[in-house]
Amino acid sequence: MKKHNFSAGPSILSEFTIKTTAAAVENFAGMGLSILEISHRSKEFVAVSDEARAMVKELLDVPSGYEVVFLGGGASLQFCMVPYNLLAKKAAYLDTGTWASNAIKEAKLFGEVDVVASSKEANYTYIPKGYTIPEDADYFHFTSNNTIYGTEMRYDPDVKVRMVCDMSSDMFSRPVDVSKYDIIYAGAQKNLAPAGVTLIIVREEALGHVERAIPTMLDYRTHIKKESMFNTPPVLPIYSALQTLKWYKEQGGVKAIEKINLEKAAILYDEIDGNKLFKGTVAVEDRSIMNVCFIMNDEYKELEADFASFAAAAGMVGIKGHRSAGGFRASLYNAMPKSSVEALITCMKEFEKQH
Ligand SMILES: Cc1ncc(COP(=O)(O)O)c(C=O)c1O
């Protein structure tokens, strides 16, 4: 039976990415060797790394003055690298969920942190608005998509200070005005590649303004200077990332991908709103197009486990909600075909008919 992979991350990758990665595991670039066993400094891999960084720039229209870096350590390492490199005195953070608050915790190790707003009291079911960012903040940090709760800021805020964004779960899901940001970072395991690499886009001018000594490996300048080859990079995930980027280009780029993403999310939210058994969990205007969270309506609460089994029997994988949000979460990342979303909707309709 066909499986429909709604996992939140690691998550679905395009068939193209999986097939070309599998082929490179057998025989990379006609070298007669697996990509798992070649030097990261071989000319064949250096070409992959260069092309991947160039394609990120092309797909997101990255202006000059920015560099693209591939690092290990996950998005979580960026929670400390960002303040290490940018926080001289004070930073402003928006608290929209677990990942945002993890970033806040790390920043506090480096200086004053002004949490400009938080929706924690409502279990992060909305994005705070109308907050003020202090003009003397070194930067403003936010999480564009809150993977666990299913809220998203699908726009690039206008702020008067430097801006840093964790785009781990909605990178490449829409065009982004990179020129508004100083650092954008994203763990690969949602919209890019298998886990193990983190994509960072950094404005070079933003670096070098803190007085503290920065350990070599945690200094963005090290990796910019060495073109992500200061130490051994995660070779296989970078190869897969390049395949996904090629596939994005083939789909027509991020604008075309956004169009499909909007359609996929709209049909699923319509079903949630129209089906008597289900309801959404977050403020309608803040609904994520990447992670669609829903629960059973109050009078059908006892059917939750039954629906989970029913959906699993129909091939749905990974729709259980995060333990801190409960219910269900269908992640509709870029590689998720519309037909899988339609299969989930059919499943919800059939379950409704039975009750
Ligand atoms: C928005 C966001 N930020 C950060 C992380 C942490 O990423 P990593 O596991 O790569 O450290 C996640 C993981 O799901 C996430 O969704």
DSSP 177: -
pLDDT at 293 (0 to 100): 98
Strands 183-187 and 198-203: antiparallel
Q: What sign does the CA torsion over 134, 186, 218, 229 have?
A: negative
Q: Kindly provide the b/e burial profile for residues 166-192, where b requires at least 16 CB atoms within 10 angstroms of the residue's own CB.
A: bbbbbbbbbebebeebbbbbbbbbbbb
pLDDT of residue 324: 85
Q: How many Å apart are CA 273 and CA 262, to the nearest integer?
A: 16
CA 77 / ligand 1 centre spacing (Å): 10
CB contact burial 124-140 (16+ within 10 A = b; e otherwise): bbbbbeeeebeeebbbb
Catalytic site includes residue 90? no
| Residue among 76, 146, 170 whose CB has most ligand 1 atoms within 8 A, to mutate | 76
Question: Catalytic: 219?
Answer: no
In 193-234, which residue ranges form alpha helices assigned H by DSSP? 220-225
Residue showing tokens 């000059």: 64
Task: Clarify whether 247 is annotated catalytic.
Answer: no
Residue of 93, 99, 142, 198 to test ligand 1 pocket, by largest number of atoms within 8 Å of CB: 99
User: What pTM was estimated for this model as a whole?
Assistant: 0.98
Spacing, Cα 184 to ligand 1 middle (Å)? 13
User: Could you give the CA distance from residue 263 to residue 242 in angstroms, rounded to a whole number?
Assistant: 26
Give the separation between CA 187 and CA 133, rounded to whole angstroms. Answer: 26
Averaged over successive runs of 10 residues, the pLDDT of the chain (355 residues) comes to: 94 98 98 97 98 98 98 97 98 98 98 98 97 98 98 98 98 98 98 98 98 98 97 98 98 98 98 98 98 97 96 97 92 98 98 97
Between vectors from CA 129 to CA 128 and to CA 132, what angle results, nearest 5°? 110
Residue listed under structure tokens 């205007």: 285
| Whole-number pLDDT of residue 262 | 98
In 3D, which of 327, 313, 324 has the Cα closest to residue 278? Answer: 327
Closest listed residue to residue 163, CA positions, set 219, 91, 97, 95: 91
Radius of gyration for the alpha carbons in the chain, expressed in angstroms and rounded: 21
Query: H or E segment at 236?
Result: helix 235-251
Residue 116 is predicted with a pLDDT of 98
Query: One of 95, 99, 156, 246 is an active-site residue; which one?
Result: 99
Domains and CATH numbers, the chain: 15-251 (3.40.640.10), 252-353 (3.90.1150.10)
Residue 202 CB contacts under 8 Å (≥ 6 apart), including other chains: 66, 67, 69, 182, 183, 184, 220, 224
Tell me the residue length of the chain. Answer: 355
Residues with CB under 6 A from ligand 1: 9, 74-76, 99, 143, 147, 166, 168-169, 187
Return the residue matching tokens 């920015």. Answer: 66
The closest alpha carbon to 177, from 223, 146, 144, belongs to 144
Distance of CA 288 to the CA centre of its chain: 12
Neighbours of 205 (CB within 10 A): 11
What backbone torsions phi and psi does residue 229 show, to the nearest 5 degrees? -125, 25
The pLDDT score that the predictor gives to residue 20 is 98
